[in-house]
Structure 1
Amino acid sequence: MTDRQAETGGSADISRRTILASGGTLATATLLAGCLSGDGGDGSDGGDGGSGDSTTEVAIISSPAGFDDNAFNDNAVQGLEEASEEFDLEYTTVEETEEAQYESVQADVAESGYDLIICVGDNHTDPLTTNAEEYPDQNWMLINNVVEGADNVSGWIEMNNEMSFLAGVAAGVMTQQEFEYEGSSTDPDGSTVGFVGGEDIPLINAFEQSYIEGVEWVDDSIEVLTGYGGSFSDTGATNDVAASQIDDGADIVWHAASAAGGGVFSAAQEAGRFALGVDVDQSVTEEQYQDVILGSAIKALNEATYTVSEAVVNGNFSEYVGEQNLSVEQGSIDFVVGQAFEGELPDVLTQNIQDAKEGFENDEIELTCGPTSC
Structure 2
Amino acid sequence: MDRRSFVKAAGIAGITGLAGCTGGPSEGGETTTTEHGSDEKTTTDAQTTDGSAPAANVGMVYALGGLGDKSFNDAAKRGIEQAKTELGIEYQEAQPSASEEFPQYQRRFAQSTSPDYDLVSCIGFAQKSALKETAPNFPDQKFMLVDDKLPELDNVASYVFREEQGSFQVGYLAGLLTTQEFAAGAGETTPDKKRVGFVGGVDAPLIKKFQAGYEAGVKHADEEITVDVAYAGSFSDSAKGKEIAVSMYDKGADIVYHAAGATGLGVFEAAEEKGKFAIGVDSDQSVTEPKYADVILASMVKRVETPVFTSVGNVVNDEFKGGSVTTLGLEEDGIAAVYGNELGSEIPQEVKDKLTKSRESIIAGDIEVPTTTE
Give TM-score, length-normalised by structure 2.
Answer: 0.85
**1:95-135 alpha-carbon deviations (Å, 9 max, x no partner):** 00200121122111211231111111110001101111011
Instruction: Give the match for residue 230 of structure 1.
Output: 233
Q: How does 1:315-330 map to 2 (within 5 A)?
A: 315-318=318-321, 321-330=323-332
Q: How does 1:265-280 map to 2 (within 5 A)?
A: 265-280=268-283
Aligned-residue RMSD, C-alpha: 2.6
Structure 1 residues not aligned, in runs of 5+: 1-12, 38-51
Instruction: Give the match for residue 195 of structure 1.
Output: 198
Q: What is the CA distance between 1:210 and its match in structure 2?
A: 1.7
Which residue type is aligned with residue 61 of structure 1? V
Q: What is the CA distance between 1:22 and its match in structure 2?
A: 6.8
- How many angstroms apart in 2 are the aligned matches of 1:256 and 1:283? 15
SS at match of 1:339: coil
Instruction: Give the match for residue 185 of structure 1.
Output: 188
Of 348, 357, 361, the residue aligned with 1:359 is: 361
Instruction: Give the match for residue 3 of structure 1.
Output: none
Q: How does 1:327-366 map to 2 (within 5 A)?
A: 327-366=329-368
Q: What is the CA distance between 1:326 and its match in structure 2?
A: 1.1
- How many angstroms apart in 1 are the aligned matches of 2:361 and 2:219? 15
- Whether the aligned pair in 1 keeps the contact of 2:284 and 2:301 (CA below 8 Å) is yes
Whether 1:152 aligns to 2:155 is yes
- Whether the aligned pair in 2 keeps the contact of 1:118 and 1:141 (CA below 8 Å) is yes
Instruction: Give the match for residue 169 of structure 2.
Output: 166
- How many angstroms apart in 2 are the aligned matches of 1:339 and 1:314? 36
Structure 2 residues not aligned, in runs of 5+: 1-26
**1:315-340 alpha-carbon deviations (Å, 9 max, x no partner):** 1113x641011111112211111111
Which residue type is aligned with residue 75 of structure 1? A
- How many angstroms apart in 1 are the aligned matches of 2:229 and 2:362? 25
Which residue type is aligned with residue 126 of structure 2? N
Instruction: Give the match for residue 100 of structure 1.
Output: 100
- Once the two structures are overlaid, the 10-residue window that deviates more, 304-313 or 182-191, is 182-191
- Whether the aligned pair in 2 keeps the contact of 1:26 and 1:105 (CA below 8 Å) is no
Which residue type is aligned with residue 79 of structure 1? G
SS at match of 1:267: helix
* 1:247/1:28 CA distance change after superposition, 3 Å: closer
Q: What is the CA distance between 1:187 and its match in structure 2?
A: 1.1
Identity, in percent, stands at: 36
* 1:256/1:23 CA distance change after superposition, 3 Å: farther
Q: What is the CA distance between 1:14 and its match in structure 2?
A: 7.6
* 1:84/1:17 CA distance change after superposition, 3 Å: farther
SS at match of 2:97: coil
Q: How does 1:1-374 map to 2 (within 5 A)?
A: 15=29, 54-112=54-112, 113-318=116-321, 321-369=323-371
- How many angstroms apart in 2 are the aligned matches of 1:28 and 1:65? 14
- How many angstroms apart in 2 are the aligned matches of 1:275 and 1:360? 24
- How many angstroms apart in 2 are the aligned matches of 1:27 and 1:224? 39
Which residue type is aligned with residue 313 of structure 1? V
- How many angstroms apart in 1 are the aligned matches of 2:264 and 2:86? 32
Which residue type is aligned with residue 357 of structure 2? D
Give TM-score, length-normalised by structure 1.
Answer: 0.85
* 1:351/1:82 CA distance change after superposition, 3 Å: same
* 1:22/1:310 CA distance change after superposition, 3 Å: farther
* 1:28/1:199 CA distance change after superposition, 3 Å: closer
SS at match of 1:118: strand
- How many angstroms apart in 1 are the aligned matches of 2:273 and 2:66? 26
- Greater relative contact order (CA < 8 Å, ≥ 6 in sequence): 1
Q: What is the CA distance between 1:26 and its match in structure 2?
A: 8.3
- Whether the aligned pair in 2 keeps the contact of 1:198 and 1:260 (CA below 8 Å) is yes
- Whether the aligned pair in 2 keeps the contact of 1:162 and 1:333 (CA below 8 Å) is yes
Which residue type is aligned with residue 353 of structure 2? Q
- How many angstroms apart in 1 are the aligned matches of 2:270 and 2:41? 37
- Once the two structures are overlaid, the 10-residue window that deviates more, 255-264 or 109-118, is 109-118
- How many angstroms apart in 1 are the aligned matches of 2:74 and 2:36? 20
- How many angstroms apart in 2 are the aligned matches of 1:167 and 1:297? 7
* 1:27/1:220 CA distance change after superposition, 3 Å: closer
